[in-house]
Amino acid sequence: MTHFFKPLLAVAALCATAITAPTATLAEDWTPPGPITMYVGFAAGGGADTQARLIAQGIEEKFGWTVIPQQAPGNSGLSLAAELAKAPADGTAIGMVVSETMSYSSQAAGDPALDYKNFTMLATTAEFQLGMVAMAGGDFDSWDKVKSAAEAGTPIRFATASDRQADMAWHLGQKVGIDFNIVEVRGGKGVMDGLRGGDVDIGWVAGAQSKSVQQGEMVNIARGIEAPLADSPDAPMITELGSDYLLDGYFMFIAPGGLAPEAREALGAAIREVAEDSSTDANGLLTKAFGGAAVRTGEDLDGYMAQANADAAELIKAVAE
């Protein structure tokens, strides 16, 4: 299976402007030596992009730190990682990606400089609400319909937004005997736009579909994570359909390697405080679109990333065989 490295996501450069005096004691222990550039690896206007901007806003409001979102699109988040690797490791540069950027995508790229151990893992914010999505009331709004259409010879156009998603679609197709026509697009928003326009039939979306599912426009016909989807608790796991693997993961922030422990702790704690505070707009979005905040930091996050990289190596090997 050939790995693809097309730009995954476009990024908006939007800056929150509300800055108030620090309200948390954390800022007394460590503060950034200057404005923080927040590289954002997601399509403008999508749920993940909005999440990043609201977290930037929350950090400014709670701690008085200046946070400036900046575009860093492309290559499943690896363009962002390459840019971040050149930034100073002093807490003034962070980036929002997904965990697969620092596991599956970095391994598939084969560039040792992009190994997750060369970066500092700061904090996760939310788990994927990863669904296999289709238009409600359409020809593919259930897995049975997808299988029947394939058996009748109808090509099934499967939209994916990363190399891991593409390989997972291919792997699932091999397991169930469907030769999916895999279409790579930019982000979950691109998948949803393709579904609405009739350019694709099904696709992976990691949370941005929540509002459309709640409104009855779209449906999660399966889930790529172990836990039931908040909006579609009855959607079957893809392992129940035939896949050997799941598509779990997190939205997360990273920094250049070599970041001082006190800076890592302070930045991770700041992200946690904003994400978990029910009074923040960021928490409201995380609750509504992503099933709530899911923050992991420090050794807990390091352990997760080690396991994610082990799992990625196994999937890459399976797809290459």
Asked, for residue 14, whether it belongs to a domain, the answer is no
What is the Cα Rg of the chain in Å?
19
Asked, for residue 44, whether it belongs to a domain, the answer is yes
103 and 150 share one domain: no
113 and 255 share one domain: yes
Do the beta carbons of residue 52 and residue 9 sit within 8 Å? no
Asked, for residue 3, whether it belongs to a domain, the answer is no
Asked, for residue 235, whether it belongs to a domain, the answer is yes
Domain closes at, from 213, 241, 269: 241
77 and 215 share one domain: no
Phi, psi torsion values for 102, nearest 5 degrees: -95, 15
Asked, for residue 259, whether it belongs to a domain, the answer is yes
Residue indicated by tokens 């469907």: 178
163 and 264 share one domain: no
Domain closes at, from 220, 241, 262: 241
Do the beta carbons of residue 159 and residue 183 sit within 8 Å? yes
Do the beta carbons of residue 166 and residue 263 sit within 8 Å? no
Asked, for residue 57, whether it belongs to a domain, the answer is yes
- CA–centroid distance for 203 within its chain: 15
Instruction: Single out the residue of 190, 221, 218 nearest to residue 6, CA to CA.
Output: 190
Helix (H, G, I), strand (E, B) or coil at 74: coil
Do the beta carbons of residue 103 and residue 305 sit within 8 Å? yes
Which helix (H) or strand (E) segment is 180 a member of? none
Asked, for residue 203, whether it belongs to a domain, the answer is yes
- The tokens for 100 are 């697969």
Range of the domain at 81: 26-127+249-320
228 and 310 share one domain: no
162 and 295 share one domain: no
Instruction: Single out the residue of 73, 126, 107, 124 nearest to residue 3, CA to CA.
Output: 107
Question: Number of folded domains in the chain?
Answer: 2
225 and 206 share one domain: yes
On the 0-12 / 13-18 / 19+ scale of CB atoms within 10 A, 268 is: buried
Distance CA 161, CA 148 (A): 25
Phi, psi torsion values for 205, nearest 5 degrees: -140, 135
User: pTM higher than 0.85, yes or no?
Assistant: no
Phi, psi torsion values for 213, nearest 5 degrees: -70, -45
33 and 119 share one domain: yes
Query: Under 8 Å CB-to-CB from 237, ≥6 apart: which residues?
Result: 222, 223, 224, 225, 226, 246
- Which domain CATH number covers 98? 3.40.190.150
139 and 226 share one domain: yes
Q: Do β-strands 93-98 and 250-256 pair in parallel, antiparallel, or remain unpaired?
A: antiparallel
pLDDT string in tens for the chain (321-residue length): 433 333 333 333 333 333 334 444 444 589 999 999 999 987 777 778 899 999 999 999 999 999 999 888 778 889 999 999 999 999 999 999 999 999 999 999 999 999 999 999 999 999 999 999 999 999 999 999 999 999 999 999 999 988 899 999 999 999 999 999 999 998 888 999 999 999 999 999 998 899 999 999 999 999 999 999 999 999 999 999 999 999 999 999 999 999 999 999 999 999 999 999 999 999 999 998 888 999 999 999 999 999 999 999 998 998 887
235 and 291 share one domain: no
- Which domain CATH number covers 158? 3.40.190.10
Domain closes at, from 194, 224, 241: 241
